[in-house]
Amino acid sequence: MVTGEIQIRVRYAETDRMGLLHHANYLVYFEQARTELLRDTGVSYKDLEDKGFFLVVAKVEIKYRSPAHYDDVLTVRTTVVRTSPVRLEHQYQVFREGGTLVCEALTTLACVDRAGKLQAMPDFLVQTK
């Protein structure tokens, strides 16, 4: 399994009136974590898209465990847990400093062409089991 970690500091603009990280911003963090995980393999999303491969989010599941606050430093751990010829599944764990689990999530990405039609992923992505 391919796993990576990034750290993100919660910015003021990402919080609600209570100073908590707004639930929608977790999706942005997951995308950033996936992008960096792919980059760690030597390929960027831009490289994939330039070759006509687009990875679109088909499914998201999030379990919020503990709130994140303005200025918290979060660690997002991302793991590729399943691949198929046209899909890629990532698991996420978000921790606050000190190891508190903030949330867990799962995303399924589908590989499509420029017209939005399902297509087979490049071989190196399918082999990241």
Q: Residue 90: name the closest of 40, 39, 47, 31 by CA.
A: 31
Among the listed residues 16, 40, 47, 71, the single catalytic one is 16
Any catalytic annotation for residue 16? Answer: yes
Please report, for residues 15, 55, 76, 105, 106, the alpha-carbon distance to residue 59 in angstroms, rounded to integers and kept in the order given.
24, 12, 19, 11, 8
Q: Is the four-CA dihedral 23, 25, 31, 37 of positive or negative sign?
A: negative
Active site residues: 16
